[in-house]
Amino acid sequence: MADFCSTSRVVIVAGKGGVGKTTVTAALAITAARAGKSVLIVEVEGKSGLPSMFGAPALGYDEIDLEVGVRARFLTPDAALIDYLVTHGMKRISKRLAASGALDVVATAVPGMKDILVLGKVKSIEEAREADLVIVDAPAAGHAVTFLLSARGLLDAVRVGPVRKQAQDVVSLISDPERCQVMLVTLAEETPVSEVVDTAFAIEDRAGVALGPVVVNACFPPLPVAVAADATAILEDARVCDRFVSQREADDLAHAAAFLEERHALQVEQIQRLRAQLPLPQIELPFVFNPDITRPQLAVLADAFQRGIERL
C-alpha cells in the first residue's frame, strides 16, 4: 500500500458523472492515510459531496481537516489566478483583475487557461510537498480529457511568456508517471464501460498521462453460498431446518436473490469486456447498500481498496 501511494504524488481521479468519483476519491484518501501518508484532496468543481461524507462544512480555498491524515480544499480558477499573479509580482492588480470579470474573457481568449491555472496550482502544491499524496477530484466526463489536454494545447497556442512556462511545468508534471497518474472510475455497466475505454485511450495517447488501475465501483458481491433463487427450493430448505417461511416471504427472498444474481452476472460480463478492451489492472469496490455514503461506508470501501491494491 505504501508503495502504491509513493509511486505518484499526484493522483487524478476521473470518470463520467454518476460513477462515484468523489466516493472513490474519499476511499482512496482514507486508504492512503491508514498507510501513514498525509493526503490532500483537491476539489476543482463546485458543490462537491465530499465534505458531507465526513460531516464537514462546505470546502473553501483554505484547507480543512476531514479526518486524521486527510485534508481537503477547493481550487477555483479565479483563486488560482490571484495566487498566480501574487506570486508573480502582480499583487497590486490581482484583486481588481479577478473582480472585473476579466478572467472570463482571458479564459475564453485562451482555451485551457482555467485548467492550466488549476493544474499549475496543483503542481506548486506537489513541488512544495504540502502532502505525501495529492488527490485531484477531476471534472466529470469528457471534461477530464480537455482538462488534461489543456497544457499541451497551450504549448501550441502560446509561444512566449509566463503562461507558456506554466504550461511546460504542468506538462512535465502530468507526463511523469513518477509524479502523476490518472485513476479512472467506472461502473460495471455497458455505457460507462464503453466511455471509460474511450477516455483511457484519449488520456494516454493524446494527453500522455500515465494511467493507474481502473476502479470499478459499486460491484454487487455474490452471495456467500450458492442458492437457487426459487421459492419452492427455499420452502424446502425451510422445512429441512424446521423454520416457518410463508409463501410470500419465500417469493420475496427468491426475487431479491434473482435480482442480485442477474445484476451480478451483468456486471461480470461488463468487467470482462473492460478487461478485454483496456489492458489495465482493475480494483473492484463493492456496492454499498446505502444511498448515503458516510464514514462507516467509506471504511468498508477503504478496506476493499486496500485489498485491491495489494492484489495488483
Partner 1 sequence: MTTPIEELVDSRRVVICCGSGGVGKTTTAAVLALEGARRGRNACVVTIDPARRLADALGIEHLTNDPTEIDPKLWAGDLGGGDASEVVPGGRFSALMLDTKSTFDVLVARNASTEDQAQRILDNAFYRNVSGALGGTQEYMAMEKLHELHDEGNFDLIVVDTPPTRHALDFLDAPKRLTRLLDNRVFRLLMMPTRAYLRVASVAVQTFLRTVARVVGSEVIEDVVAFFRAFEGMEEGFRERARVVEELLTDPATAFVLVTSPRRDAMEEATFFAERLAVAGQTVQALIVNRIHPSFGDESPAGLRAAADALQFSSPDAERAGPTNRLSALYANLADFREIAALERAHIEALRDRIGGDITLAYVPYLAHDVHDFTALHEVGALLFDTVSAR
Residue 310 zone, left/alpha/beta (φ > 0; ψ -120 to 50; rest)? alpha
183 near partner 1, rule: CB under 8 A = no
* Residue indicated by cell numbers 442477474: 262
Q: CA torsion angle for 205, 207, 208, 211 (degrees, to 10)?
A: -90
- What mask of x and - would describe binding to partner 1 in positions 148 to 177, judged by CB under 8 A? ----------xxxxxx--------------
Say whether residue 99 binds partner 1 (CB under 8 A). Answer: no
Of 3 and 294, nearer to partner 1 (C-beta) is: 294
Asked if 195 is part of the footprint of partner 1 (rule: CB under 8 A), the reply reads yes
CB of 210 to partner 1, least distance (A): 26
Q: In 10 A of CB 95, how many CB atoms?
A: 12
Nearest CA to 261 out of 240, 236, 253 is that of 253
Minimum distance from residue 297 beta carbon to partner 1 (Å): 11
Q: Report how far apart, in Å, the C-alpha atoms of 48 and of each of 29, 108, 217 are.
A: 15, 25, 18
Name the β-bridge partners of 183.
Answer: 13
Query: Which residues from 55-84 bind partner 1, rule CB under 8 A?
Result: none
Q: Report phi then psi at 235, rounded to 5.
A: -65, -35
Query: Grid coordinates in use for 220?
Result: 454487487
C-beta of 292: minimal distance to partner 1 in Å?
5
For partner 1, the closer of residues 178 and 236 by Cβ is: 236
- The DSSP secondary-structure symbol of 205 reads I
User: What is the DSSP code (8-state) at residue 38?
Assistant: -
Work out which of 36, 61, 95, 104 binds partner 1, going by CB under 8 A: 104
- Using CB under 8 A as the binding rule, the residues of this chain from 251 to 310 that contact partner 1 are 251-257, 259-260, 262-263, 266, 289-293
Type of residue numbered 43: E
Region of 5-13, 34-42, 43-51, 54-62 interacting with partner 1 (CB under 8 A): 43-51
Residue 49 in the binding site for partner 1 (CB under 8 A): yes
Find the part of the chain contacting partner 1 (CB under 8 A) among 18-26, 61-69, 125-133, 203-211.
18-26
Decide if residue 225 touches partner 1 (CB under 8 A).
Answer: yes
